[in-house]
């Protein structure tokens, strides 16, 4: 098996113990190289010989392994998140602890993150941005239906495969960190202030509508090339999310169509009751706004599958065909769901060792 091109963001670090993991093994996984780092974890590319595949291993800070509250929450949440199987959710294969190293084994994605894409392209074309947000919303819908709120929806947690799929990662990490005994917090909410909902930023209980708010801020970023609220410190950003209106003029300057602007404004409404209440409702609004803007989704048909896919009429709907009645009912009328099934041969095997 040949190593694939590595597009994970590389970041420097000074943790010699973690750097020394390269060449060693965690369980059955041999560490190949360090491919990323952030405030909550360091990510390594590793090789799994028995399945002849590469995986990504996220190693959490060593001090967490010594915190019994964290370990308990980690096990509970990892098991819950590992049960989420969806084309737009990064699959967890395994997790464990070895020599005070707590780690999660995940699917390896070779296309970088949405954050990387935005760093290069700044703003995205409207159809591409909406396509990514619908994929993210589909993944969130799966999680929400299982009672899991992401709590840290942001471009850095959206991985992009080279075939056009977006996969959400780091489900439950913020929830695991809430309530740990040795955590130094910024303000009263755990997450990323630039994308955090007002209720999360002020330490209030959150539900699926908080994720919808964060997704709205991500969509704003995709369309304009920047987040709506910035400041020198996280607390000030949180206050802006709480009190300042969304700068819709930035969307207008970027040439975003009015129907799309209206969807973004409702996604990022200050009060949860004023937002879309479910991701299903949001997906319907996004697809309708795209149609109203006379735009269409980017075509991402898989090689060799175009002849098997349903034809679309001029309005982007499935062309009349009695054989597709069942598909139309199953897909709730959304072409998107038909298009988003993994292509044949997509091997997403789950290995949960507990």
Hey, which residues are catalytic here?
A: 152
Burial of 100 (0-12, 13-18, 19+ CB in 10 A): exposed
Cα-Cα-Cα-Cα dihedral sign, residues 265, 268, 274, 280: positive
Instruction: Measure Cα distances from 219 to 134, 142, 160 in Å.
Output: 10, 20, 15
- In sequence order, the β-bridge partners of residue 94 are 105
> CA 172 to CA 348: how far, in whole Å?
21
Distance from the first to the final alpha carbon of the chain: 28
Pair 34, 42: CB distance under 8 Å: yes
How many other C-beta atoms are found inside a 10 Å radius of the C-beta of residue 238? Answer: 26
Tokens of 254: 């970027």
Tell me which residue of 239, 211, 55, 53 sits closest to 133, measured CA to CA: 211
């Amino acid at each position: 098996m040949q190593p694939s091109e590595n597009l994970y963001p590389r970041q420097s670090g000074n943790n010699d113990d973690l750097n020394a993991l390269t060449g060693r093994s965690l369980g059955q996984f041999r560490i190949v190289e360090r491919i990323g780092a952030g405030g909550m974890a360091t990510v390594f590319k590793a090789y799994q010989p028995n399945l002849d595949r590469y995986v990504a291993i996220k190693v959490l800070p060593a001090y967490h392994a010594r915190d019994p509250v964290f370990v308990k929450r980690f096990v509970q949440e990892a098991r819950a998140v590992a049960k989420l199987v969806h084309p737009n959710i990064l699959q967890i294969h395994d997790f464990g602890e070895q020599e005070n190293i707590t780690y999660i084994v995940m699917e390896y994605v070779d296309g970088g993150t949405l954050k990387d894409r935005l760093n290069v392209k700044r703003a995205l074309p409207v159809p591409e941005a909406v396509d990514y947000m619908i994929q993210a919303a589909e993944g969130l819908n799966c999680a929400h239906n299982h009672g899991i709120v992401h709590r840290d929806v942001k471009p850095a947690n959206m991985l992009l495969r080279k075939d056009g799929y977006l996969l959400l990662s780091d489900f439950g990490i913020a929830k695991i960190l809430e309530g740990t005994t040795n955590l130094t917090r910024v303000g009263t909410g755990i997450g990323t202030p630039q994308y955090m909902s007002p209720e999360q930023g002020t330490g209030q209980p959150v539900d699926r509508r908080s994720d919808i708010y964060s997704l709205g801020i991500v969509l704003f970023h995709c369309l304009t090339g920047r987040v709506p609220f910035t400041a020198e410190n996280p607390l000030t950003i949180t206050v802006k999310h709480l009190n300042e209106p969304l700068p819709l003029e930035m969307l207008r300057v970027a040439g975003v169509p009015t129907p799309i602007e209206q969807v973004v404004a409702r996604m990022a409404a200050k009060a949860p009751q004023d937002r879309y209440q479910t991701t299903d409702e949001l997906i319907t609004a996004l697809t309708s706004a795209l149609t109203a803007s006379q735009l269409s989704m980017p075509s991402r048909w898989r090689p060799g599958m175009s002849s098997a896919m349903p034809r679309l009429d001029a309005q982007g709907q499935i062309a009349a065909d009695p054989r597709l009645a069942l598909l139309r009912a199953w897909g709730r009328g959304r072409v998107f769901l038909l298009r988003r099934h993994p292509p044949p041969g997509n091997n997403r095997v789950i290995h949960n060792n507990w």
